[in-house]
Amino acid sequence: MSLETETLQATPPTSTFEKLEEKQEFNWRQCWYPVTFVKDLPANRPHGFSLYDEPLVLFKNKDGQFICLADRCPHRTAKLSDGQIIDGKIECLYHGWQFGSDGQCLHIPQLATDAKIPVNACVPSFKVVERQGMIWVWAGEKETAVDEIIPILPDLDKPGFVCADFILDLPYDQTYLVENVIDPAHVAISHNGTRGGGNRKNAQPLEMEVLENSVQGVKGRWRGANKSNEAWKYIDFVAPSLVLNTAYIEKKDWTFGLALYSIPLGKGRCRLLARGYRNFMTWGVKLRPRWLDHLNTNKILEQDLPLIAGQQAEIERLGRSLKELYLPLKTSDTLVIEYRKWLDKFGSSLPFYHGYSTWKNVENDELNSKPILLDRFSRHILICSSCNRAYQVTNRVKQGCIGVAIALAAVAILADDSRIRIAAISVSIAAIVMSVMAHTLKTHFEHSYTRH
């Protein structure tokens, strides 16, 4: 599915929804889901994830192709993601069974050399493609996959555009994430004073319009009601995985977009893959280290995180419809309510959801008992290659500086020459300062932002 943003104008751009056929209901199996950015995929080891609590595993075969299988060995149901990659095959770490690109079992160490591998010793496989640096998996049968409906960003294929990527696991359902990022009204308050956030002085009534609503999603636009000449900003929800925010400055031919992709990992869990892109002031994106950008992006997301987690918990505790619980305003909540009503109309096939008037929950103590990932290290550092490397370097610098400080302090104690003693003490103090700075940065990688 292409998102056309070529025409820069104040009037609504061409529809982002490329309708292949009229459908009566949304089928979550007939969709592509984003798994991770290619740059964040672990090298030479399996990557485990889930889709609506269905465990899956991703790896590369010997030809460099991405392979996705059910994360379950047919022998004794051990997780394949705990295994290893050997000659492009994934090996179960429990008994060494090996599986190929289509999920077929290729080797069982415990079988006699003349024995045949059982026909049913295979693992379900799923179609995987790479588009614009992201890994996508098709949830249905491979034969039904339609590559053309992957929601790519055409602007990224044009010269002059740069992008910045961010990945984060969140402790709430995908529908609550979509509601959050389709809501521009909260930015001025919730993210007040944060770089890339908002200013509470700009909180105001909004003009909001729904331009399109179909099984493929919701298209809308908004602008501040206090500024009649303000250009429209556009928000598209492209089912099931994308909220696209776009803005245009016609006179300068500038385009800004924030693509917020997500995957429903399971009940109470989702993954955000954010991609900001633009064709102006590109030097900042090119020069600033990715991990440094992520410190601020984490802060922005963590300002909302406890609010949304608490919102979801209270709604589930009350067990009532959002129509009964919400008090929406036309000047702030139009797109949020339209999305929830979209779930009412088209979401019946989803394993779980909460629409405006209807909902479907999973009653499963095992799912609900899964730990909520509250710390930044678990939610982001472990799955972001850039921040993981920066964290490891920071930790080594800290430990190294401590060692240098101790060694130089010993030199200062033992030295007879006062000049050597002074130099050793000076460098030791500098090493201690660097160690403290490294420790401070290390804590930013590990701990979430909390409001004071």
Residue finishing a domain among 374, 406, 434: 374
Residues 50 and 101 in one domain: yes
Query: How many residues appear in the chain?
Result: 452
Residue 22 has pLDDT above 90, yes or no: no
Q: How confident is the model at residue 373, as a pLDDT?
A: 57
CA 220, 256, 264 angle in degrees (round to 5)? 60
Q: How confident is the model at residue 227 (pLDDT cuts 50, 70, 90)?
A: confident
Residue 222 lies in a domain: yes
Residue 115 lies in a domain: yes
Residues 187 and 126 in one domain: no
Q: How confident is the model at residue 198 (pLDDT cuts 50, 70, 90)?
A: confident
**HSE of 115 in the Cβ direction (CA atoms, 13 Å)?**
9
Query: Other CB atoms closer than 10 Å to residue 130's CB: what's the count?
Result: 13
Residue 167 has pLDDT above 70, yes or no: yes
Average pLDDT over every residue of 360-382 = 70
Residues 6+ apart with CB under 8 A from 247: 231, 233, 234, 255, 256, 257
Could you give the residue ranges of the DSSP H alpha helices within 169-289?
Answer: 174-181, 187-190, 283-287
Q: Which residues of 133-145 are buried (b: 16+ CB within 10 A; e: fewer)?
A: ebbbbbbeeeeeb
User: Do 20 and 27 touch, CB atoms closer than 8 A?
Assistant: no
Residues 284 and 412 in one domain: no
In whole angstroms, give the CA distance from residue 327 to residue 69.
44
In whole angstroms, give the CA distance from residue 93 to residue 90.
9
Residues 237 and 348 in one domain: yes
Residues 169 and 280 in one domain: yes
DSSP label at 225?
T
Mean pLDDT of the chain: 90
Residues 126 and 173 in one domain: no
Residue 128 lies in a domain: yes
The CATH number of whichever domain residue 293 belongs to comes to: 3.90.380.10
- How many domains does the chain divide into? 3
Residue finishing a domain among 326, 352, 374: 374
Residue 146 lies in a domain: no
| Percent of the chain surpassing pLDDT 90 | 79
In whole angstroms, give the CA distance from residue 429 to residue 431.
5
Q: How confident is the model at residue 7, as a pLDDT?
A: 30
161 CA to centre of own chain:
21
The CATH number of whichever domain residue 98 belongs to comes to: 2.102.10.10
Average pLDDT over every residue of 261-265 = 98
Q: Which domain holds residue 412?
A: 387-446
Q: How confident is the model at residue 450, as a pLDDT?
A: 85
In whole angstroms, give the CA distance from residue 260 to residue 249.
21
Q: How confident is the model at residue 197, as a pLDDT?
A: 83
- Concatenate the DSSP letters of all residues of 401-448 into one string: HHHHHHHHHHHHHH--SHHHHHHHHHHHHHHHHHHHHHHHHHHHHHS-
Average pLDDT over every residue of 252-259 = 93
The Cα-based distances of 78 to 119, 167, 252 in angstroms read 19, 27, 57
Residues 45 and 169 in one domain: no
- Containing 238, the helix (H) or strand (E) segment is strand 233-238
Handedness of CA 411, 413, 419, 422 (dihedral sign): positive
Q: Range with the lowest mean pLDDT among 219-228, 317-326, 398-407?
A: 219-228
Residue 231 has pLDDT above 50, yes or no: yes
Q: How confident is the model at residue 2, as a pLDDT?
A: 39
| Total-model pTM | 0.89
Residues 120 and 238 in one domain: no
Residue 285 has pLDDT above 90, yes or no: no
Q: What is the residue type of 230?
A: E
Residues 178 and 321 in one domain: yes
Q: How confident is the model at residue 230, as a pLDDT?
A: 85
Residues 400 and 328 in one domain: no
- Containing 318, the helix (H) or strand (E) segment is helix 290-318
Q: Which two tokens stand for residue 296?
A: 């601020």
Residue finishing a domain among 353, 374, 395: 374
Residue 326 lies in a domain: yes
What confidence tens digit (pLDDT) does each residue in 327-339 have?
999 999 999 999 9
Q: How confident is the model at residue 387 (pLDDT cuts 50, 70, 90)?
A: very high
Residue 344 has pLDDT above 70, yes or no: yes
Q: How confident is the model at residue 24, as a pLDDT?
A: 65
Q: How confident is the model at residue 284, as a pLDDT?
A: 83
Residues 354 and 272 in one domain: yes
What confidence tens digit (pLDDT) does each residue in 84-143 have?
999 999 999 999 999 999 999 999 999 998 899 999 999 999 999 999 999 999 999 999
Residues 316 and 426 in one domain: no
